[in-house]
Amino acid sequence: MYGASDPAAAERTAFRRAEKQYKLYKPPNLKGRSRSRSKSAGVEVGGGDLSAVVDFHALLVADGELPAGIGRRDRAGFDRPVFCFLDRPGFYFIPGALSTEEQCYWIRESLKTFPQPPNRTNLTAIYGSISDLFVAAKKQKILVEVENSDVQEKEHNSGDGKMESKNFKFVEYSEIQKGEECRSTRATTLMRKLRWSTLGLQFDWSKRNYDVSLPHKKIPDALASLAKNMAIPAMPFGEEFKPEAAIVNYYGPSDMLGGHVDDMEADWTKPIVSISLGCKCIFLLGGKTRDEVPTAMFLRSGDIVLMAGEARERFHGVPRIFTESDQQEISALVSQLSGEDDCFILDYIKNSRININIRQVY
């Protein structure tokens, strides 16, 4: 994950104060358990208040006038409700854009298929490319480093310019040799450590740019066609969105994504199409500097956000994921994932959020 985490700078800007406020928010039924509470910017930290968080789902069900500052975006050929902020052009919110079935499909793909080589993940730098992590986790397998193997072999850059060769493979627990335990990691642990995977053109996090020389596959057709359709409200008239890359973010209970601007794509008139799956979160949309007070909104499973034009210059981030059972709002997903085959996915998604954001790079 990216975004600054300098504790000394933590409260210097309006964006950072909002991040801190929401990160430390505790649901009312857990408030009493917090030992230390302090005050920050007039908000009780460790308690907190979500009354300023915009809830677009509530606007969907309420008929009547929209709150001040919020409008609707009507676009020919796009028949779903789309909301926008009148003072933040280029930002669009499509609540409930995906059905529960579609959400389950993309959650499965995000866990099973998207982390597969040649797509890179945050684990690639440590272990080289690992195939079938999801299957290995379901079967409770263990990743071990091996002396000489033709399986899972991948060259990888150690950071000092030297190329190292890493050999890892999944084995059954019973196959682990004596003394090998310390160099082994459970596949389930690795699954929990998965933070991102990249699809299509591969993003190089160390250079914060796309590395077209890295091997890659095209964005899957179904994801490309979903992104093209959903991008319509943000697209210049007569143009079609070209999905060339995607970043998949995996958030565990205490993960956050610090405020940042995505500026590595050539044409900012094209949107980033951002899909939310799993647990609810708070998303902050700020200004062109961190000094502007950000607007907070809930993102739920199935919501889609578009950021194009001026909105691409705005700081944004995710300070808080809701994983407590009363706040995560994934009951439809829970019923849909009740089959025996899905229990691993259900267990994962009950405490996680996945975000797939699709980009046109050129």
Q: Which residues are annotated as a binding site?
A: 260, 262, 316
Choose among 163, 215, 211, 170: nearest CA to 188: 170
The verdict on 19 binding ligand AKG (CB under 6 A) reads no
- Whose Cβ is closer to ligand AKG: residue 188's or residue 295's? 295
- Round to whole Å and give the CA distance between 69 and 86: 5
Burial 127-155 (b: 16+ CB within 10 A, else e): bbbbebbbebbbeebbbbebeeeeebebe
Kindly tell me which residue out of 59, 137, 318, 349 binds ligand AKG, with binding defined by CB under 6 A.
318
- Cβ-closest residue to Fe ion? 262
Kindly tell me which residue out of 136, 201, 247, 296 binds ligand AKG, with binding defined by CB under 6 A.
247
Kindly tell me which residue out of 103, 124, 129, 249 binds ligand AKG, with binding defined by CB under 6 A.
249
- Whose Cβ is closer to ligand AKG: residue 199's or residue 318's? 318
* Interactions with Fe ion, residue window 248-307 (CB under 5 A): 262
Binder of residue 257, out of ligand AKG, Fe ion, none (CB less than 5 to 8 A by kind) = ligand AKG
Binder of residue 13, out of Fe ion, ligand AKG, none (CB less than 5 to 8 A by kind) = none
Cα–Cα distances (Å) from 231 to 92, 133, 197, in that order, read: 10, 31, 22
The verdict on 274 binding ligand AKG (CB under 6 A) reads yes
- Round to whole Å and give the CA distance between 159 and 95: 42
Q: Are 270 and 256 in contact (CB under 8 A)?
A: no
The verdict on 283 binding ligand AKG (CB under 6 A) reads yes
Q: To the nearest whole angstrom, how small is the minimum distance from the Cβ of residue 40 to ligand AKG?
A: 24
Q: To the nearest whole angstrom, how small is the minimum distance from the Cβ of residue 287 to ligand AKG?
A: 15
# residues near ligand AKG by CB under 6 A: 12
Burial 247-282 (b: 16+ CB within 10 A, else e): bbbbbbeebbbbbeebeebeebebbbbbbbbbbbbb
- Round to whole Å and give the CA distance between 339 and 337: 6
| Binding-site annotation: residue ranges for Fe cation | 260, 262, 316
Q: Are 45 and 20 in contact (CB under 8 A)?
A: yes
The verdict on 230 binding ligand AKG (CB under 6 A) reads no
Q: Give the contact letters, 210-249, x = binds to Fe ion (CB under 5 A), - = no.
A: ----------------------------------------
Q: Which residues form the interface with ligand AKG (CB under 6 A)?
A: 247, 249, 257, 262, 274, 276, 283, 299, 316, 318, 355, 357
Binding site residues, Fe ion, CB under 5 A = 262
